[in-house]
Homo-oligomer: A and B are copies of this chain.
Amino acid sequence: MEFLQKEIKLPGYSRGFHLITQQIVDNFPEMRKIRKGMLQVFIQHTSAGLTINENADPSVRTDFDSFTDELVPENFPRFIHTYEGPDDMPAHIKSSIFGCSVQIPITSGRLNLGTWQGIYLGEFRNRGGSRRLVLTAFGSI
């Protein structure tokens, strides 16, 4: 039984959805020793989020972005938390709709994702800057 933990920083991404699976895997090679277990990726921010979706066609990420902007509009008239800019309060809500962590099974040292699944970073601020992740992997070795 093993418990591994690591904090990493993502470079600043533009507003939108970005595939970060490879960055997670490359930054956490220790995970390979786990036979049956789980990886959690946790983002320590409230205006960005993590989700799992289609890893191939970039048009899916574009559509996530345009749909999400319509779902949580910057001009929602009843927002009162507006002093950090029009993108701030929608970013908070988007973060909670998608969530701030993903939990993925590990099998034989690899993420046991479906063929078309990848990890998305949702960057919901115009200038979110670098984002911190806590990676926790655990399981039998």
Give A contacts to B, CB under 8 Å.
Answer: 1, 3-5, 35-38, 40, 42-46, 51-54, 57, 59-60, 62-64, 66-67, 70-72, 76, 78-81, 89, 92-93, 95-105, 107, 112-117, 120, 132, 134, 136, 138-140
Contact = CB atoms under 8 A, between A and B. Distances in A.
A57 B3 CA distance: 35
A67 B53 contact: no
B116 A134 contact: no
B117 A51 contact: no
A65 B5 CA distance: 35
Contacts of A107: 5, 134
B117 A44 contact: yes
Given A5-B107, A44-B115, A52-B96, 8 more contacts: A37-B138, A43-B114, A46-B117, A63-B80, A97-B97, A100-B117, A101-B102, A112-B134
Nearest to A52: B100
Scoring A3, A78, A112 by chain B CB atoms within 10 A of each residue's CB, the highest score goes to A3
A99 B79 CA distance: 23
